[in-house]
Chains A and B, each alone.
Chain A
């Protein structure tokens, strides 16, 4: 059982990927930007959207839609790149839009079901139920594992 047990409230960045509302611990987020000079890296796994120049550093951009097995979308105004750190390097997550930042009561976080809208549950650590919606909390480690 992965149910979060710490009692301190978590701040979550909430963003949208297709029809899924995702939450990411704000501590995991390095920055959010809107830098879309993405160079495609053909021959890479499909979910790799490409690479970009983040102040002199080459950052791999992961298309979360494709990671979740959904069709790719053209870049549009609402899209953002969420920069997270993993294995000592920065990685960009391409998301459809940023929604909110919420403070989550850990007691309201439940373990994830085996899949969320068809996306395997291993990418999530839990589900936060709010009045309006269900927020799936991302497991950065599994999500970025090769």
Chain B
């Protein structure tokens, strides 16, 4: 055919073809899965896609593409006609064909030079190898008698059948080169091309015997040209397409006999003369020439719609990712257009109001700008959102190929394909995800015989799922393979010298499993072709962290592994924190942010400690490595000048920078460390005496650390801009942005910084013996908010229970019906005063009291206090006798002050008259379980002494005896000893050594404990965490300190057992 001549057409073809080919892989795999049970719609869809590629390629002269598509089409046709079972081998060849096809399409312009004979051969071979196909030998011909003549045409039977099965009509038309072409001002080549647009010319020839003479100028044809033309165009309009009188067009019927257009014989569905089986799916029984003709006309009738249908159907499939273009839903574009219009109007409004200096109008206009901008932002974001299916779909192929290679039987299930993520994220998660899936298949899933021995189902399952949770997208890769054995990891860690034996001993199972994310760790026994090529989970981890994602691994030996990846929806505009160090402002992406800690001057010394050369901060039960931003970046040291402004100490820094640039990399780090040490000492002195320390606690994947900054400024949504190439290698920066004031600021790369400083979590530092001891002494530390009510009376509230703290003006407090309340977030918030319930001094009179907001029974309530004193982590002895009363749990000496511990839930519920809870419970108990109650215990596993004593008092009050344990490990021990007497367990989740979920899982491993109710009591729980808990066998999550709920649920479970809910 003609070579490619029109870029636009070629481009259109390529675009359409890439769309068509996009979904093929998945479809083929689905076809294979269906096996003999062929899904006609699916096969037809694939067939159409390849057919369109073939047609288009022929049209633009890409012969190789056409050829390859043609062979694939042939094969599919056989599948469609049930003459070929789509076995794994067949599909594999088709998949390879698809790969080659897409390769050809990628290099369309040169595709005719690319060698494809091998794949063509493969396709041919698999056709012939597959034995029993009555393959129509290509040299067989069908002879067709030409109407009004004695001549007969010989056509390749294969071609003819092919076209017929493809839903084509076959026409024979004669036209006159002189009258129909020349005299109408047409050009033969153009004419042929027009025809090729709508179908395929099977054969064309000049009929010399029919050539008349120039003399007989009647109606005779002067220079007859005949074509055999296959097209999906129906007989009703074929004449207008060909621009020929209908009588010169003939249609081929079932029996390969030509009938004039419009005659009965041709248009009816089947030729009545020969009752050939009509069913479309009937396999053609004989390869004999004329006999097996499928009911072409009937098919044609249904297919005539497809020229329109085809083009609209194909693109709905997965949009292609590779190209630089993106398909955008037209409604989104319209929306953008409307918004753009809106923006223009608003701008005009703004200009006008600025011109007239009308402040009111300016305010209004700027509000509108704000609104429109966020809407435009949302709409633009929308255009970038892509379904994660584009990534997921390719795993079908990977799992398919890998399970073949590894001789494993694996079933891949995919869920949540429609979950959308930003284009950039979709592009960057492909590799890490591939690695995770490969890992599951290669390492996770066992060989079939091992599975059989273990009594596990075949095929094995790998389950991919994506879903939204809390503004993030969670991707799960779950396999039912062998799981990760923490013991093996421990051995490996020691073997590789990554950790010492003692360190490993102290790690919990989940900590050990997390170690696979560390650099230098690969658990593959041997390096296979598929994994273990040096790219380990650490790369996956750091890549995902770079995207603001996190990895969570859950694995049970023998049961399987679940890997959860959390990702933000978008990267282009991110919420971030703006902090300053020296004169410079930096932004830190919110996703990396864990918390902000401010250490008051007097505590700096006690809370910031030095372990070796690194400084750490003790935060609750963890020790966090601490970095100073100015040291990380080699910023000049700042000091407060005599007049109070910041000045820089230039000399030293210039010297340092210089010397660094000539040193090699390792020394640079050492230098930095030394420098850091020196400064920390100096600054430690300085800050301890002068100023508070602001610490931004950030998460860099597997490690949290603190960044010390000079000040915290603001949080802003920032637009991420790329850095120039001079700065691209600076690992401390992830990009830059432009802040609200128009100045540029750098975005810190939290992972990069931790790499520069070669941070390791303090726990796996060799020195953590000392730390462990320190932590141990601090084990029962409790985060408490200290508040003031009467001027000299202090109260403590467990921080974990508080939702928010609001500063309000007294005028906001209303008292309808004697009940204090305030308007809060569009609803009424009930308020309580401490002295209303508890017998304490009245609240001092202040204009701006604080409201402590917390959850109670599914709604929010508030407690009014006059002032906030502090938030501290402290380990205290709780005296739960002296001040014990309704609303007060007890007291403790905190910072030299007798401080009363508030029972938030007690405060907001009326004092029970003669403790009805207790009575009621006792009654129920005595009725239902009179004897068992006496000897049955409730095991309370809780690391905080405070809460243990709380539980003890609550449960004892309700008439139950309790046993106590400080963590999961101890809990298991206690349980082992008294398992016969323990009828229920209440456990905390977050605990050292072993958490509540793990303990529960271990307990459930023993079938004897299947009926034991295990309740979790926690102050914070996310949906995800709860789900994990339920998976481990927890029965219910309760809120700590909600006494009524606790008693009620325990009673419920004791009465009804586990499964009654």
Contact = CB atoms under 8 A, between A and B. Distances in A.
Interface of A: 37, 39-46, 48, 51-53, 56-60, 62, 87, 89, 91, 144, 146
Interface in B718-742: 721-727, 729-730, 732-733, 736-738, 742
Nearest to B584: A40
A53 B727 CA distance: 15
Nearest to A45: B726
A52 B726 CA distance: 13
B725 A39 contact: no
B671 to A, nearest CB: 13
Interface stretch (B743-751, B882-890, B977-985): B743-751
Nearest to A40: B584
Given A39-B745, A44-B730, A46-B657, A51 B633 contact: no
A44 B634 CA distance: 10
B724 A89 contact: yes
B584 A56 contact: no
A58 B722 contact: yes
Nearest to A38: B744
A58 B730 contact: no
A60 B727 contact: yes
Contacts, number: 76
Nearest to B635: A42
Contacts of A59: 724
B240 interface: no
Contact of A87 (B632, B725, B729): B725
B721 A57 contact: yes
Contacts of A45: 661, 726
B634 A43 contact: yes
B721 A58 contact: yes
Contacts of A89: 724-725
A45 B724 CA distance: 13
A39 B727 contact: no
Nearest to A60: B724
Most buried by B among A42, A45, A57: A42
Contacts of B723: 51, 58, 60
Contacts of B729: 146
Contacts of B736: 39, 51, 58
B120 to A, nearest CB: 41
Contact of B724 (A37, A39, A43, A58): A58
A1 B509 CA distance: 69
A57 to B, nearest CB: 7
A91 B746 contact: no
A15 to B, nearest CB: 20
A97 to B, nearest CB: 23
B743 A146 contact: no
A43 B746 CA distance: 12
Contact of B744 (A44, A51, A62, A87): A51
A92 to B, nearest CB: 9
B726 A44 contact: yes
Contacts of A58: 721-724, 736-738, 744
Contacts of A41: 727, 730, 733, 746
The 4 closest A-B pairs by CB, nearest first: A60-B724, A42-B633, A58-B736, A53-B744
Contacts of A87: 725
Contacts of A48: 726-727
A39 B633 CA distance: 14
Given A43-B730, A87-B725, A52 B584 contact: no
Contacts of A62: 726
Contacts of A42: 584, 630, 633-635, 732
A111 to B, nearest CB: 28
Given A39-B584, A41-B733, A56 B727 contact: no
Contacts of B725: 60, 87, 89, 146
Nearest to A39: B744
A53 B738 contact: yes
A39 B721 contact: no
Nearest to B739: A53
Interface string B996-1032: 0000000000000000000000000000000000000
Interface in B692-739: 721-727, 729-730, 732-733, 736-738
Contacts of B583: 40
A51 B657 contact: no
B803 to A, nearest CB: 38
A62 B657 CA distance: 17
A62 to B, nearest CB: 7
23 contacts: A37-B743, A37-B744, A39-B744, A40-B583, A41-B730, A42-B584, A42-B635, A44-B726, A44-B730, A45-B661, A45-B726, A48-B726, A51-B736, A52-B744, A58-B721, A58-B724, A58-B737, A59-B724, A60-B723, A60-B724, A87-B725, A89-B724, A146-B729
Contact of A46 (B630, B661, B724, B732): B661
Nearest to B657: A46
A144 B725 CA distance: 10
Nearest to A52: B744
Given A43-B632, A51-B724, A53-B742, 18 more contacts: A37-B744, A42-B634, A43-B633, A43-B732, A44-B730, A46-B661, A51-B727, A51-B746, A58-B721, A58-B724, A60-B723, A60-B725, A60-B726, A60-B727, A87-B725, A89-B724, A89-B725, A91-B724
A44 B743 contact: no
Nearest to B735: A58
Nearest to B724: A60
Contacts of B726: 44-45, 48, 60, 62, 91, 144, 146
A53 B723 CA distance: 11
A87 B722 CA distance: 14
Contacts of A146: 725-726, 729
Contacts of B742: 37, 53
A39 B722 CA distance: 15
Nearest to B629: A42
B70 to A, nearest CB: 42
Nearest to A90: B724
Interface string B340-362: 00000000000000000000000
A69 B671 CA distance: 23
Most buried by B among A41, A89, A146: A41
Most buried by A among B729, B742, B744, B745: B744
Contacts of B732: 42-43
A58 B726 CA distance: 12
Nearest to A86: B725
Contacts of B733: 41, 43
A91 B724 CA distance: 8
Interface in B791-844: none
Contacts of B585: 39
Contacts of A37: 742-744
Contacts of A39: 584-585, 736, 743-746
A60 B726 CA distance: 7
Given A43-B730, A43-B732, A58-B736, A53 B724 contact: no
B270 to A, nearest CB: 65
Most buried by A among B657, B721, B724: B724
Contacts of A60: 723-727
Nearest to B719: A56
Nearest to B738: A53
A14 B746 CA distance: 32
Contact of A56 (B657, B658, B722, B738): B738
Contacts of B722: 58
B373 to A, nearest CB: 14
A66 to B, nearest CB: 11
A59 B725 CA distance: 10
Contacts of A57: 721
Nearest to A59: B724
Contacts of B584: 39-40, 42
A51 B725 CA distance: 12
A45 B732 CA distance: 13
B643 to A, nearest CB: 19
Contacts of B730: 41, 43-44
